[in-house]
């Protein structure tokens, strides 16, 4: 697919985020990706947070019945090279502070960084447990407690390594009239999926969190088995890993 031409021509330019609700009221398109995902903006509101001030945008979609949102800082509509983070929901990490993953650190650091920039965008996607859901994620944790890594645990439960689909995210970006993104990620699959869905990814912002004693093996697995841009012993150093990390408040990002 041509990354300069997302598969929806019904997204008429409007001047303000609030105007997207009226624009999308009757929006119905052929959809993004093989699942033909159509998305529309359903509500926009202010969201002051401990990380900075954002606008929160709620989206409806015709695929999964889940309520995905965007946190928007500054004016992103019509702009190129918008710093953007795709964050998949993680109840255990984001809300409960689990140390088995780096999700909460990734979320908090992303929001702080985006709020310090002129403009930025975070999509909070309801794809718990790499898309397998909360209950199955806990089942996978139980298998990891017995010695499997995260990839082996997913496969043992009958899932692929990663079940997430970023077609919803691609349409959300297009709905917000963002012309291109600089993706805040260590995951090459996110870049590839956005580009396949017609979103121009103009660059990558490394987003590396320091490991702790509980998530080190998980992060090593992401690096060695899933190809994430993380450097660990036993994994060949990739050219992308030459990008220097940004350090904020004593924390590598």
Residue 246 DSSP SS3: coil
From 130, 164, 165, 204, active-site residue: 164
164 annotated active-site:
yes
Burial category of 97 from C-beta neighbours within 10 Å (exposed 0-12, middle 13-18, buried 19 and up): exposed
- Beta strand 251-252 with 201-205 is unpaired
Query: What tokens appear for 64 in the block?
Result: 């999964």
DSSP 239: G
Is 216 strand, coil or helix? helix
Pairwise CA distance, residues 154 & 149, whole Å: 9
Contact 208, 246 (CB under 8 A): no
| CA gap 160, 165 in Å, rounded | 12
| Dihedral (CA of 215, 221, 226, 230) sign | positive
User: How far is residue 65 from each of residues 123, 170, 185, 194, 212, measured CA to CA in Å?
Assistant: 16, 17, 26, 21, 35
The active-site residue, picked from 24, 102, 105, 162, is 162
Cβ-in-10-Å burial (0-12, 13-18, 19+) of 181 comes to buried
Euclidean distance between CA atoms 182 and 161, whole angstroms:
25
Which residues are the active-site residues?
162, 164
């Amino acid at each position: 697919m041509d990354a300069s031409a997302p598969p929806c021509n019904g997204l008429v330019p409007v001047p303000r985020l609030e105007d997207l609700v009226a624009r999308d009221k009757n929006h119905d398109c052929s959809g993004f990706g093989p699942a033909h995902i159509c998305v529309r903006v359903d509500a926009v509101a202010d969201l002051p947070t401990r990380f900075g001030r954002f606008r929160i945008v709620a989206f409806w979609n015709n695929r999964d019945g889940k309520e995905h949102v965007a946190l928007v800082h500054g004016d992103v509509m019509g702009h190129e090279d918008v710093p953007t983070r795709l964050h998949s929901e993680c109840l255990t990490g984001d809300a409960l502070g689990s140390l088995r993953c780096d999700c909460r650190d990734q979320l908090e650091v992303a929001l702080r960084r985006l709020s310090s920039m002129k403009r930025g965008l975070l999509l909070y996607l309801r794809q718990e447990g790499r898309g397998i859901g909360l209950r199955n994620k806990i089942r996978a944790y139980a298998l990891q407690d017995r010695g499997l890594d995260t990839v082996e645990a997913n496969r043992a439960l009958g899932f692929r390594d990663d079940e997430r689909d970023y077609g919803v995210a691609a349409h959300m970006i297009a709905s917000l009239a963002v012309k291109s993104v600089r993706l805040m990620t260590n995951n090459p699959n996110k870049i590839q999926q956005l580009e396949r869905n017609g979103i121009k990814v103009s660059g990558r912002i490394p987003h590396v969190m320091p490991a702790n004693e509980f998530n080190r093996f998980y992060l090593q697995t992401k690096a060695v088995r899933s190809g994430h841009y993380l450097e660990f012993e036993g994994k060949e150093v990739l050219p992308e890993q030459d990008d220097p990390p940004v350090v904020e408040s004593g924390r590598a990002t």
